[in-house]
Chains A and B, each alone.
Chain A
């Protein structure tokens, strides 16, 4: 059985509830532009009355709920990882392809052609000093182009190491922040507080972490999240962050250590995975192609040059400085070592040693090297081998650039989907505002009515 005082109490609860609704609406509006914010709503429940004829005891606020979709969060997170990977490889490879400017015919191919064709020119006039000079100049230019391209790729690798260091530092600062937020979420839940804003902030950081490295994460019952890489290297367990280290590897390239274990080769995605893939797989293979080409040029040209006789009829010496690799049987470093060994134009061995210095036989033979199947197990000419490199660089870059574009479309759609569930709509909030305002007004009027009823009662009593 309800009493007037009881009605007042119901009115008070109602006022408080509508006010809370207004406050939540206000908070949603305030965060309309906050990245990662998920809109919140008040969950009300009717207060229970007692006895069979009870009319209920007003309204009570049960919880403030945040519209998070765990499923979409995880999908978005996964796509962010690949987006980071493609973006890193596109960014680096676009610099690499600029070193191989073959679309305008000014790249390495033109130096290779010029080098061999200069020998063909010399074959027209084997004793001509100007043509001999041209042969030397062509050799020097060829060496310079190889060394220069090799150097540029090496410098780029050093820059990549810097990028890797920065990414690891950022990962460490993010995991530390997530560990702290884990503590706050668990703590607030323990004291029945509202952890929604910490969860939003934490999800934003998890997304940022995903753009850097491939991660798996799950939420424990206590509300904290555990993060590790897909290959199992720990990042965050509960309230504890596991910072990573970088250290110089055997070849001077940076390695990434988690708890002292080298995990560099395990990282597959995210910006860090992308940078490591470009550095250790792609650029390394491009350098190897240049090395193989340079080694083939050095050894084959030197061998043919030695078969000829120079302007004085002396047997030809080395045209290029012979390459002696640091690692036996490996061509590593040959492109950096491609350099003409002779300075005297008369030392160019253009002639057949059995004939006079006017013979052009050896110059012609050296010019013919450009058509010999020197590479890929005697299956490809220098030019064909190089063509394959150009194709690979173009394709790798295209994969990165296209991947980045596709990924960003995909991510946009997913984020839109997530936003349509979690994001704030001002129209909707305006309606909520009216909704709570009207309810508040009605409750206030109800309290005024109860007040007037009480006045009536008191006037009867006071007579």
Chain B
């Protein structure tokens, strides 16, 4: 597999503050790779180093096999979709898109052709003469993407470009981005704090926290098999129940024992049981499950296709349960005594520090 972008033991310090702490990863050609993490986790700094706006304190950045750590941004074969898009307000759509091509001294006829083609790709044909001011939020996004793709960079980096859009438009653009990426076949590195976007679009995700990469993998793998509490909670919001693990059972204070699949964990250690909300069954009577717990319903959120319950365990811990609304006659109400349950293969047990 051809590698497009590679970071080798990269560290970035701002004074005493370590923004990025010894990270390494490789992005394959034509891959849609996401850097996912909360704000301040170092993902934007990482992206800026790949772009060349920051120089790594330590380590090496390679693009297409070449060490570019000290190459200025304008000489790197990667383009960026800025968080604020950074479209040139004094130029029209055509001039914005043609900007990079003009710098590259591409002949006029060729520029015209390529601008036309890329406007097709982003589904805004005939927009050449429009002023940037006249465009809607979604159209600006597409023009920014067109401007970055038209010079055919090796890598396209995206810095939370969907942030300012409203939810509906964002969902639309997520699908659009994926389609555009498939169509042009450029390697995408996408920086976001939105796990939903990352899961939907990416081939692989790297979760960052406090300047470190916690886990890299395919969305499915990250969701189903997180190997830390942070990843479990960040990707798809897990319920975490902490206790002490021994012989296939986690002992939880004031609650009792929880049966788990212990094949990936050592005996006699502190552990977290992590269960995704949609893998928990809720009902008045439950049978045939490995774990069944008594709870009281605290909150009910009916959301149309699903219902989210917040239920209180006997040890006063809140558990979130999401149930699909298939043939629902009635919902549980606040204060109802209900049981929740799950099978041990639907939960993951993660070793943790005491």
Q: Do A and B come from one complex?
A: no
